[in-house]
Structure 1
Amino acid sequence: MSARKLHLAVAQLGPVQRSDTRAQVVRRLIELLEDAHSRGAAWVTFPELALTTFFPRWSLDDPADVQAFFETEMPGPLTRPLFDAAREKGIGFYLGYAELADGTQYNTSILVGRDGGIVGKYRKIHIPGDAQARDGAALQHLEKKYFAVGDLGFPVWQTPDAAIGMCICNDRRWPETFRVMGLQGVEVVMAGYNTPSGYVQWDEPIHLRMHHHLLSLQAGAYQNACWVAAAAKAGVEEGNPMIGGSCIVAPTGEIMVRAFSEDDEVINFVCDLSVSEHYRANIFNFAAHRRPEHYGMIVERTGARPPA
């Protein structure tokens, strides 16, 4: 199989504090996009909720306080410069943000083509955390309080460069996320995340945060014969540390490049998309080897329960 090359970049963001304005954050995104372009990248992945601090760490009840974190249009006046820069440079991007649409709040990402136009939209499906604050918890994770479950499924878009899909943060931990896109022939999965170093639900050793993050990406890439470009918002944000670990993973499951810091940083890699074709023609030839008649329990049951 002849090589099909696609130059991908991942733009990790350092912390975004609550006092940072949209204009300030967009300026940082543009600088990262320009850095990626200067290296020859055709597409760049930005993090989840890239435009603001990770506000689900707080229990906010004033609607005005909450809606200040949400976008009602994309692009809007403050985000349009990023789209203009992408069009000028001819580079596409993934951007995560909080979306308010017809009165419903979503954790959303968009795929923007190299012409600056929106190619597609994804809304986060696997919403973690709690719907109300936990008494006595040192840290809160309240995504269920602020976001509805996404209603757009896991689509894949055939761009001129590759078949690209999206997911957001906790989605990467669920094999169904990658498999649904894998069944659509996805070649590149872009994922943004904001993952705390400490965990609030149970006393888990901190080192497992990074281990599970990378394990999920590597398994998803390998088992679905796709490249994965994952971008963190990292560092100490409003006193709360978040992991970095932004990376690009090959269909072999190998990490080809990984961020060094927990600050604003661009990483890039020239990906050979034909590697996916090799795996899809052999060990992960879905048409030859999958047996969906035995997978019914996956869609019929949500919680686990012991055998009868």
Structure 2
Amino acid sequence: MRKIVSAVIQLGPIQKADSRSSVVERMIALLDAAKKEGATYAVFPELTFTTFFPRWYMEDQVEVDRWFERSMPNAATMPLFERAKEHGMGMYLGYAELTPEGRHFNTSILTDTSSNIIGKYRKIHLPGHAEYDDKRTHQHLEKRYFEPGDLGFPVWRAHGGLMGMALCNDRRWPETYRVMGLQGVEMISLGFNTPSVNSQRSEEGAEDRLFHHRLSCQSGAYQNACWVLASAKAGVEDGHPLIGGSLIVDPNGHIVAESKTEDDEILVHDCDLDQCNFGKTTIFDFARHRRIEHYGLITSRVGAEAP
């Protein structure tokens, strides 16, 4: 058996006025608690260190850039990396990345047990819109503040297995999982910040949003015979609610752990990577069963066109 004792660490709300140092203190306390439960790998949410700032319409680039990290780790976040190294724990976490060239990405990283960054992913499927929309109940401006990711969907040999990453809206797209599945991925970590109400369809509330969230993670895990570890930033941020629903899903698509609150919460599970083997060698043995000669439209066409 190849087991990773994994902790999905959900964060409750982070208010606009909360400092990064206060958030890092919360994260360290949660990391300590996860270590006490035997975890060697921790998954934090998307945009871990700040409120979900794409809900705010901003025209001043200086105001926008205050939410971004110019390096990782940096002075504010270094204590988290030091504590993870002290515990011998690897991490996945998300943040807003401002590159030295001035590019803006919604990013996640993977660290080893010495807190070295060994993998980076930049969110590809950006939801929402780029300009203020007065027809929405609230704004979702990821297309305004971020560029689509430019690193693809890599898979890394780490923590005794094949590890992949995704972020939030990526989980809704089957291509996300399949590209990593074709690299043999055994565990996909993803963080998310999902509003509790659809801004364009008010009758779609938290119950529906949690249903679609679970459906996406479970189908991705099952159809690629891999673990999916999904960590939420949840609760009411400055009057704007986010769903919880942090999950650990096994390679058969079963939810083996799920958060019960919209606050800081930890899910710990002993994830056996060898459980991926059955699915990868039977129904989802890609080498035997895939028929790529019929899949050309997937990469040759963006939008749907009727025959």
Cα offset for 1:134?
0.4
Deviations 1:85-118 (A, max 9, x none): 1100000111100000111110000001111100
Query: Against the structure 1 CA distance between its residues 156 and 204, is the aligned structure 2 distance closer, same or farther, given a 3 Å change threshold?
Result: farther
Find 1:23's aligned residue among 21, 24, 35.
Answer: 21
- For residue 288 of structure 2, give the secondary structure of its aligned residue in structure 1: helix
Distance in 2, matches of 1:12 and 1:209, equals 17
Gaps of 5+ in 2: none
Report 1:211-230 matches (<5 A).
211-230=211-230
Tell me the distance in 2 between the aligned counterparts of 1:220 and 1:71. 30
Residue 4 (structure 2) aligns with? 6
Counterpart amino acid of 1:109? Answer: S
Residue of structure 2 in register with 1:135 after alignment: 134
Specify the alignment match of 2:200 in structure 1. 201
Report the Cα offset of residue 201 of structure 1. Answer: 2.5
Q: Which among 56, 60, 63 is matched to residue 62 of structure 1?
A: 60
**More displaced, 32-41 or 171-180?**
32-41
Amino acid at match of 1:177: T
| Distance in 2 of aligned mates of 1:274 and 1:165 | 16
Match of 1:87 among 85, 88, 92: 85
**Equivalent-residue separation in structure 2 for 1:14 and 1:108 (angstroms):** 20
- SS of the residue corresponding to residue 215 of structure 1 reads helix
Distance 1:204 1:125, change over 3 A: farther
The residue matched to 1:190 in structure 2 has which SS?
A: strand
- Aligned-pair CA distance for 1:203: 3.6
The aligned runs of 1:257-272 (5 Å cut-off) are 257-272=257-272
Using the TM superposition, give the Cα deviation of residue 62 of structure 1 relative to its aligned residue in structure 2, in angstroms.
Answer: 1.3
Cα offsets for 1:167-208 (capped at 9, x unmatched): 000000000000000011111000000000011123442121
Q: Are 2:79 and 1:103 aligned? A: no
SS of match in other structure, 2:236: strand
Per-residue CA deviations over 1:264-284 (Å, capped at 9, x if unaligned) read 000110012111011111111
Q: 2:48 — aligned with what?
A: 50
CA shift for structure 1 position 136: 4.1
From 76, 79, 83, give the equivalent of 1:78.
76
Q: Which amino acid aligns with 2:254?
A: E
2:238 equivalent to 1:238 = yes
Q: TM-score, normalised by structure 1?
A: 0.97
1:41 matched to which residue of 2? 39
Q: TM-score, normalised by structure 2?
A: 0.98
Tell me which residue corresponds to 1:154.
153
Q: Percent identity?
A: 55
Q: Residue type matched to 1:26 in 2?
A: V
State the distance in 1 between where 2:83 and 2:160 align.
19
Does the Cα contact within 8 Å between 2:259 and 2:267 map onto a contact in 1?
yes
- Cα deviation, residue 5, structure 1: 1.7
User: Is 153-162 or 68-77 further displaced after alignment?
Assistant: 153-162
- In structure 2, what residue type is equivalent to 1:24? S
Match of 2:171 in 1: 172
Determine the structure 1 residue equivalent to 2:297: 297
Structure 1: where are the runs of 5+ without partners?
none
Q: CA deviation at 1:215?
A: 0.2
SS in 1 for 2:165: strand
Q: Alpha-carbon deviation of 1:35?
A: 1.1
Q: Which residue is 1:285 aligned to?
A: 285
Tell me which stretches of 4 or more aligned residues in structure 1 moved more than 4 Å.
none
SS in 2 for 1:74: coil
Paired position in structure 1 for 2:249: 249
Name the CA distance, whole Å, in 1 between partners of 2:241 and 2:253: 27
Matched to 2:261, the amino acid is: S
Q: Give, in whole Å, the separation in 1 of the partners of 2:171 and 2:269.
A: 21
Contact 2:166/2:176 (CA < 8 Å) preserved in 1? Answer: yes
Cα distance in 2 for partners of 1:263, 1:198 equals 18
SS in structure 1 at match of 2:59: coil
Letter in 2 for 1:22: R
Contact 2:110–2:119 (8 Å) recurs in 1: yes
Question: Cα offset for 1:17?
Answer: 0.3
